Chain A
Amino acid sequence: DAGVTQSPTHLIKTRGQQVTLRCSPISGHKSVSWYQQVLGQGPQFIFQYYEKEERGRGNFPDRFSARQFPNYSSELNVNALLLGDSALYLCASSLMTVSYEQYFGPGTRLTVT
Chain B
Amino acid sequence: TQLLEQSPQFLSIQEGENLTVYCNSSSVFSSLQWYRQEPGEGPVLLVTVVTGGEVKKLKRLTFQFGDARKDSSLHITAAQTGDTGLYLCAGAGGYSSASKIIFGSGTRLSIRP
What is the CB-to-nearest-CB distance from B11 to chain A, in angstroms, rounded to a whole number?
Answer: 15
Please tell me which one of the listed residues B31, B41, B106 contacts residue A100 in the complex, with CB atoms under 8 A apart: B31
Cβ–Cβ contact B99 & A48, under 8 A: yes
Asked whether any CB of chain B lies closer than 8 Å to the CB of A25, the reply is: no
| A 49-81 binary contact with B (CB < 8 Å = 1; else 0) | 010000110100000000000000000000000
Question: Which residues of chain B have C-beta atoms less than 8 A from A98's C-beta?
Answer: 30-31, 50, 93
Q: Which residues of B contact A104 (CB under 8 A)?
A: 35, 42-45
| Partner of A105 from B40, B42, B105 at Cβ < 8 Å | B42
Most chain-B CB neighbours within 10 Å: which of A48, A92, A100, A105? A100
Central interface residue in B35, B92, B97, B100, by most chain A CB within 10 Å: B100
Are B48 and A99 closer than 8 Å at their CB atoms? Answer: yes
CB distance from A41 to the nearest CB of B (A): 6
Chain A residues with Cβ below 8 Å from B31 are 98-100
Q: Are B50 and A56 in contact (CB under 8 A)?
A: no
Number of interface residues of B (CB under 8 A): 28
Neighbouring A residues of B40 by C-beta, 8 Å: 88, 106-107, 109
30 pairs, CB–CB < 8 Å, chain A vs chain B: A35-B103, A41-B106, A42-B4, A42-B6, A42-B104, A43-B88, A44-B103, A45-B102, A45-B103, A55-B99, A56-B97, A58-B100, A88-B40, A92-B42, A98-B31, A98-B93, A99-B48, A99-B50, A100-B33, A100-B92, A100-B101, A102-B101, A103-B45, A104-B43, A104-B45, A105-B42, A106-B40, A106-B41, A107-B41, A107-B42
Where the two chains meet, the residues of A that have a C-beta atom closer than 8 Å to any C-beta of B are: 4, 33, 35, 41-45, 48, 50, 55-56, 58, 88, 90, 92, 98-107, 109
Given A42-B106, A102-B45, output 8 extra A-B contacts at Cβ < 8 Å. A43-B90, A45-B101, A58-B100, A90-B43, A100-B101, A102-B33, A104-B42, A104-B44
